[in-house]
Protein backbone atom coordinates (compact mmCIF):
# COMPACT_ATOMS: atom_id res chain seq x y z
CA UNK A 1 0.00 0.00 0.00
CA UNK A 2 2.80 2.36 1.03
CA UNK A 3 4.63 1.44 -2.13
CA UNK A 4 1.53 2.28 -4.17
CA UNK A 5 1.24 5.64 -2.41
CA UNK A 6 4.88 6.33 -3.12
CA UNK A 7 4.41 5.53 -6.79
CA UNK A 8 1.35 7.78 -6.94
CA UNK A 9 3.24 10.61 -5.27
CA UNK A 10 6.11 10.10 -7.67
CA UNK A 11 3.76 10.27 -10.64
CA UNK A 12 2.10 13.38 -9.25
CA UNK A 13 5.50 14.95 -8.67
CA UNK A 14 6.61 14.07 -12.18
CA UNK A 15 3.42 15.50 -13.64
CA UNK A 16 3.85 18.68 -11.63
CA UNK A 17 7.42 18.95 -12.81
CA UNK A 18 6.35 18.56 -16.40
CA UNK A 19 3.60 21.12 -15.97
CA UNK A 20 5.94 23.45 -14.20
CA UNK A 21 7.96 23.79 -17.30
CA UNK A 22 6.58 26.97 -18.80
CA UNK A 23 3.76 29.62 -19.12
CA UNK A 24 4.57 32.84 -20.70
CA UNK A 25 5.49 32.60 -24.29
CA UNK A 26 7.58 35.62 -23.51
CA UNK A 27 10.89 34.12 -24.50
CA UNK A 28 12.90 36.81 -26.22
CA UNK A 29 13.96 35.81 -29.69
CA UNK A 30 17.50 34.50 -29.80
CA UNK A 31 20.07 35.92 -32.20
CA UNK A 32 21.99 32.64 -32.32
CA UNK A 33 21.92 30.27 -35.24
CA UNK A 34 22.80 26.63 -34.75
CA UNK A 35 25.26 24.88 -37.00
CA UNK A 36 23.80 22.24 -39.25
CA UNK A 37 22.98 19.18 -37.16
CA UNK A 38 23.56 20.88 -33.81
CA UNK A 39 20.84 20.65 -31.19
CA UNK A 40 20.15 22.81 -28.19
CA UNK A 41 17.82 22.36 -25.25
CA UNK A 42 16.82 25.05 -22.83
CA UNK A 43 14.62 24.73 -19.77
CA UNK A 44 13.70 27.51 -17.44
CA UNK A 45 11.56 27.87 -14.38
CA UNK A 46 10.53 31.02 -12.59
CA UNK A 47 8.59 32.07 -9.56
CA UNK A 48 6.70 35.37 -9.46
CA UNK A 49 4.96 36.98 -6.59
CA UNK A 50 3.36 40.30 -5.77
CA UNK A 51 0.32 41.86 -4.16
CA UNK A 52 -0.05 44.88 -6.38
CA UNK A 53 -1.11 45.41 -9.95
CA UNK A 54 -1.10 48.12 -12.58
CA UNK A 55 -4.67 48.96 -13.53
CA UNK A 56 -6.02 50.04 -16.89
CA UNK A 57 -5.00 53.61 -16.24
CA UNK A 58 -1.37 52.71 -15.42
CA UNK A 59 -1.98 53.26 -11.72
CA UNK A 60 -0.54 50.91 -9.17
CA UNK A 61 -3.24 49.31 -7.02
CA UNK A 62 -3.23 46.95 -4.08
CA UNK A 63 -4.59 43.51 -4.86
CA UNK A 64 -6.98 41.48 -2.77
CA UNK A 65 -4.62 38.56 -2.77
CA UNK A 66 -0.96 37.78 -3.37
CA UNK A 67 0.08 36.20 -6.65
CA UNK A 68 2.14 33.02 -6.45
CA UNK A 69 2.98 31.85 -9.95
CA UNK A 70 5.33 29.14 -11.14
CA UNK A 71 6.13 29.11 -14.78
CA UNK A 72 8.36 26.98 -16.89
CA UNK A 73 9.36 26.88 -20.49
CA UNK A 74 11.10 24.25 -22.59
CA UNK A 75 12.78 25.11 -25.81
CA UNK A 76 14.50 22.93 -28.35
CA UNK A 77 16.50 24.19 -31.30
CA UNK A 78 17.87 22.24 -34.21
CA UNK A 79 20.29 23.39 -36.89
CA UNK A 80 18.51 22.28 -40.03
CA UNK A 81 21.10 23.90 -42.25
CA UNK A 82 23.58 26.75 -42.12
CA UNK A 83 20.79 29.08 -43.16
CA UNK A 84 17.92 27.90 -40.95
CA UNK A 85 17.39 26.80 -37.40
CA UNK A 86 14.17 25.13 -36.31
CA UNK A 87 12.77 26.13 -32.94
CA UNK A 88 10.11 24.53 -30.77
CA UNK A 89 8.89 25.53 -27.33
CA UNK A 90 6.30 24.52 -24.78
CA UNK A 91 5.12 26.48 -21.79
CA UNK A 92 3.36 25.33 -18.65
CA UNK A 93 2.80 26.59 -15.17
CA UNK A 94 0.73 27.13 -12.13
CA UNK A 95 -0.95 30.37 -11.09
CA UNK A 96 -2.53 31.12 -7.79
CA UNK A 97 -3.89 34.12 -5.97
CA UNK A 98 -4.27 33.78 -2.24
CA UNK A 99 -5.31 30.38 -0.99
CA UNK A 100 -7.83 29.55 -3.66
CA UNK A 101 -8.25 29.50 -7.38
CA UNK A 102 -5.19 27.58 -8.34
CA UNK A 103 -4.76 26.77 -11.99
CA UNK A 104 -2.15 24.37 -13.29
CA UNK A 105 -1.64 23.28 -16.84
CA UNK A 106 0.07 23.44 -20.17
CA UNK A 107 0.19 26.71 -22.04
CA UNK A 108 1.06 27.18 -25.69
CA UNK A 109 3.24 25.31 -28.12
CA UNK A 110 5.52 27.35 -30.37
CA UNK A 111 7.07 26.21 -33.63
CA UNK A 112 9.36 28.48 -35.54
CA UNK A 113 12.15 28.99 -37.95
CA UNK A 114 15.15 31.27 -37.53
CA UNK A 115 17.34 32.62 -40.29
CA UNK A 116 20.38 34.80 -40.72
CA UNK A 117 20.25 38.56 -41.21
CA UNK A 118 23.93 38.44 -42.12
CA UNK A 119 24.82 35.25 -43.92
CA UNK A 120 28.49 35.49 -42.99
CA UNK A 121 28.19 35.84 -39.25
CA UNK A 122 26.26 34.58 -36.29
CA UNK A 123 24.43 36.71 -33.75
CA UNK A 124 22.02 38.50 -36.12
CA UNK A 125 18.84 36.70 -37.02
CA UNK A 126 15.20 36.86 -37.94
CA UNK A 127 12.61 34.47 -36.60
CA UNK A 128 9.02 33.56 -37.40
CA UNK A 129 7.11 31.53 -34.86
CA UNK A 130 3.66 29.98 -34.87
CA UNK A 131 1.89 29.96 -31.50
CA UNK A 132 -0.43 27.02 -31.08
CA UNK A 133 -2.74 26.70 -28.08
CA UNK A 134 -2.80 23.32 -26.43
CA UNK A 135 -5.91 21.65 -25.12
CA UNK A 136 -6.90 24.13 -22.46
CA UNK A 137 -10.29 25.76 -22.46
CA UNK A 138 -10.05 28.91 -24.52
CA UNK A 139 -13.21 30.23 -22.92
CA UNK A 140 -11.85 29.93 -19.41
CA UNK A 141 -11.07 33.51 -18.33
CA UNK A 142 -8.17 32.16 -16.28
CA UNK A 143 -6.42 30.11 -18.96
CA UNK A 144 -2.65 29.71 -19.32
CA UNK A 145 -2.38 31.03 -22.83
CA UNK A 146 -4.25 33.33 -25.14
CA UNK A 147 -6.23 30.42 -26.49
CA UNK A 148 -5.85 31.49 -30.10
CA UNK A 149 -3.43 30.86 -32.86
CA UNK A 150 -0.79 33.48 -33.18
CA UNK A 151 2.21 34.26 -35.26
CA UNK A 152 5.25 36.17 -34.19
CA UNK A 153 7.92 37.69 -36.38
CA UNK A 154 10.96 39.60 -35.31
CA UNK A 155 14.67 40.13 -35.35
CA UNK A 156 17.41 39.69 -32.77
CA UNK A 157 21.00 40.74 -32.76
CA UNK A 158 24.06 40.66 -30.59
CA UNK A 159 27.27 42.65 -30.55
CA UNK A 160 29.38 39.54 -30.15
CA UNK A 161 29.92 36.40 -32.10
CA UNK A 162 29.50 33.29 -30.09
CA UNK A 163 32.68 31.65 -28.88
CA UNK A 164 34.87 34.40 -30.25
CA UNK A 165 37.13 35.97 -27.69
CA UNK A 166 36.30 39.64 -27.42
CA UNK A 167 38.70 42.40 -26.60
CA UNK A 168 35.99 44.20 -24.65
CA UNK A 169 34.31 42.46 -21.74
CA UNK A 170 31.09 44.30 -22.60
CA UNK A 171 28.51 43.11 -25.06
CA UNK A 172 24.87 43.74 -25.77
CA UNK A 173 21.94 41.88 -27.19
CA UNK A 174 18.58 43.08 -28.40
CA UNK A 175 15.42 41.79 -29.98
CA UNK A 176 12.15 43.13 -31.23
CA UNK A 177 9.10 41.41 -32.64
CA UNK A 178 5.43 41.68 -33.46
CA UNK A 179 2.98 39.06 -32.25
CA UNK A 180 -0.27 38.82 -34.19
CA UNK A 181 -3.23 36.86 -32.83
CA UNK A 182 -6.17 35.34 -34.60
CA UNK A 183 -8.72 37.45 -32.77
CA UNK A 184 -8.93 39.48 -29.54
CA UNK A 185 -7.89 40.85 -27.21
CA UNK A 186 -4.91 42.56 -28.94
CA UNK A 187 -1.80 42.13 -30.99
CA UNK A 188 1.51 42.84 -29.31
CA UNK A 189 4.84 44.51 -29.77
CA UNK A 190 7.71 42.98 -27.82
CA UNK A 191 11.22 44.24 -27.36
CA UNK A 192 14.20 43.61 -25.12
CA UNK A 193 17.68 44.92 -24.65
CA UNK A 194 20.42 43.58 -22.41
CA UNK A 195 23.96 44.56 -21.59
CA UNK A 196 26.40 41.92 -20.43
CA UNK A 197 29.69 42.24 -18.61
CA UNK A 198 31.98 39.26 -18.87
CA UNK A 199 33.35 38.42 -15.43
CA UNK A 200 35.36 35.29 -16.18
CA UNK A 201 36.03 33.42 -19.39
CA UNK A 202 32.85 31.41 -18.87
CA UNK A 203 30.55 33.66 -16.89
CA UNK A 204 29.06 37.10 -16.85
CA UNK A 205 26.44 39.36 -15.41
CA UNK A 206 23.77 41.10 -17.43
CA UNK A 207 21.05 43.64 -17.02
CA UNK A 208 17.98 43.36 -19.18
CA UNK A 209 15.10 45.69 -19.93
CA UNK A 210 12.11 44.22 -21.72
CA UNK A 211 8.83 45.63 -22.80
CA UNK A 212 5.57 44.04 -23.89
CA UNK A 213 3.23 46.60 -25.39
CA UNK A 214 -0.30 45.87 -26.50
CA UNK A 215 -1.34 47.35 -29.83
CA UNK A 216 -4.92 47.62 -28.46
CA UNK A 217 -6.30 46.82 -31.86
CA UNK A 218 -9.00 44.35 -30.75
CA UNK A 219 -11.62 44.23 -28.05
CA UNK A 220 -10.56 43.42 -24.48
CA UNK A 221 -11.72 40.13 -22.99
CA UNK A 222 -13.10 39.43 -19.58
CA UNK A 223 -10.63 38.05 -17.08
CA UNK A 224 -11.23 36.24 -13.84
CA UNK A 225 -8.85 38.20 -11.64
CA UNK A 226 -8.62 41.96 -11.91
CA UNK A 227 -5.12 41.91 -10.51
CA UNK A 228 -3.67 39.58 -13.09
CA UNK A 229 -1.96 40.29 -16.34
CA UNK A 230 -4.71 40.38 -18.92
CA UNK A 231 -3.94 37.89 -21.65
CA UNK A 232 -2.46 40.01 -24.41
CA UNK A 233 -4.18 43.26 -23.54
CA UNK A 234 -1.49 44.57 -21.25
CA UNK A 235 1.65 46.70 -21.23
CA UNK A 236 4.63 45.85 -19.11
CA UNK A 237 8.16 47.10 -18.79
CA UNK A 238 10.39 44.93 -16.72
CA UNK A 239 14.02 45.00 -15.56
CA UNK A 240 16.07 41.99 -14.56
CA UNK A 241 19.59 41.23 -13.57
CA UNK A 242 21.06 37.82 -14.23
CA UNK A 243 24.16 35.75 -13.78
CA UNK A 244 25.03 33.24 -16.46
CA UNK A 245 27.81 30.73 -16.57
CA UNK A 246 29.01 27.80 -18.59
CA UNK A 247 29.47 24.69 -16.50
CA UNK A 248 31.35 22.89 -19.25
CA UNK A 249 31.36 22.91 -23.02
CA UNK A 250 27.76 21.67 -23.11
CA UNK A 251 25.95 22.69 -19.94
CA UNK A 252 25.17 26.27 -18.95
CA UNK A 253 22.93 27.90 -16.39
CA UNK A 254 21.47 31.30 -15.69
CA UNK A 255 19.88 32.75 -12.59
CA UNK A 256 17.93 35.96 -12.64
CA UNK A 257 15.86 38.30 -10.55
CA UNK A 258 13.59 40.96 -11.99
CA UNK A 259 10.74 43.28 -11.26
CA UNK A 260 8.06 45.07 -13.22
CA UNK A 261 8.83 48.79 -13.52
CA UNK A 262 5.69 50.03 -15.17
CA UNK A 263 2.56 48.52 -16.57
CA UNK A 264 -1.08 48.48 -17.56
CA UNK A 265 -3.44 45.64 -16.82
CA UNK A 266 -0.46 43.80 -15.39
CA UNK A 267 0.72 42.36 -12.13
CA UNK A 268 3.51 44.15 -10.33
CA UNK A 269 5.55 41.10 -9.58
CA UNK A 270 9.00 40.20 -8.41
CA UNK A 271 10.33 37.25 -10.41
CA UNK A 272 13.25 34.92 -9.78
CA UNK A 273 14.27 32.38 -12.34
CA UNK A 274 16.69 29.59 -13.09
CA UNK A 275 17.49 28.29 -16.57
CA UNK A 276 19.69 25.48 -17.71
CA UNK A 277 20.71 24.59 -21.21
CA UNK A 278 22.48 21.78 -22.99
CA UNK A 279 24.28 22.18 -26.28
CA UNK A 280 24.87 19.22 -28.58
CA UNK A 281 27.59 20.74 -30.66
CA UNK A 282 29.45 18.62 -33.16
Partner 1 sequence: MKLSTRFIHRYAWMLISTGMFALFFISASSHAQVRHTQEQVDLSQMNIGQIHLNMRPVDAEVLFRKDQHDTSSFAVSVKDDDGQLLKGRVKVSGSFTRRFPKKSILIKLDSEQQWRGQRKISLDAMATDGSMQREWLVWQLAHALGMPGPRLQYIRVYINDDYKGLFMHTEWLDPQVMARYGLGSDGQFFHPSDSQFCGDFLPHKKNTLADCWFKLSPRDQDFSPLQTLVDQLAQTPVAKFNEYLEAHFDVDSVINWLALNVLVSNGDTYNKNYFLYQSAVTEKWVVIPWDYDLSFGRNWDAYLPFPKDVLNDNFQYFYPPELGAPNPLKEKTLRNPVLKKRFTERLLHLLGEKKNGLETTFGWFSPENMRARINNTSIKFQSDRLDDPYLKDSQINFMQETESLWHYVQRRYAYLRIIFKGAVPWDPELAIWDPADAPPRPPLSVNVSASLEMPSNNQYALIAAPAYGYLLAAIKLKDDYGLAEFSVESKIKHTPTVLPPGYDASSCIQRNWFLTLRTPFKSRLIDLQLDYLQEDSRRQELGRGRIEQNLDLWALDGEHWQKLDVRINPLSNVISIDNVIIRPSQMLRFVACSADK
Q: How far is the CB of 136 from partner 1 (least distance, A)?
A: 38
122 binds partner 1 (CB under 8 A): yes
Stretch that binds partner 1, among 46-54, 77-85, 189-197, 262-270 (CB under 8 A): 77-85
Eight-class DSSP state of 222: -
**CB count, 10 Å around CB of 46?**
23
- CA angle, 177 then 208 then 197, to 5°: 125
Q: How far is the CB of 119 from partner 1 (least distance, A)?
A: 6
Indicate if the alpha-carbon torsion angle 240, 276, 147, 28 is positive or negative: positive
User: From the list 13, 15, 37, 101, which residue makes contact with partner 1 (rule: CB under 8 A)?
Assistant: 37
Stretch that binds partner 1, among 55-63, 114-122, 181-189, 221-229 (CB under 8 A): 114-122
164 binds partner 1 (CB under 8 A): yes
CA distance 95 to 228: 10
81 binds partner 1 (CB under 8 A): yes
First to last CA, the chain: 48
Q: How far is the CB of 116 from partner 1 (least distance, A)?
A: 9
Q: Decide: residue 161, CB within 10 A, 0-12 exposed, 13-18 middle, 19+ buried.
A: middle
Q: Three-state DSSP class for 274?
A: strand
36 binds partner 1 (CB under 8 A): yes
281 binds partner 1 (CB under 8 A): yes
Site residues, partner 1 (CB under 8 A): 33, 35-38, 79, 81-82, 119-122, 161-165, 281-282
Amino acid sequence: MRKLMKQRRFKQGLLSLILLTGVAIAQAASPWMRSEGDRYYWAGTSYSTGNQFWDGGNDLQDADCRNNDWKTFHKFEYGYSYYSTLVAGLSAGSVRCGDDDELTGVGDLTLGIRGRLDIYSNGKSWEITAIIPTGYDRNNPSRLGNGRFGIEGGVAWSSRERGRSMLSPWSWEGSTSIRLWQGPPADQFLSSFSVRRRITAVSGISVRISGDISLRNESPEKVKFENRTRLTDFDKIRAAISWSSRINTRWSYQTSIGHVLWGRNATNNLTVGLNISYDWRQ
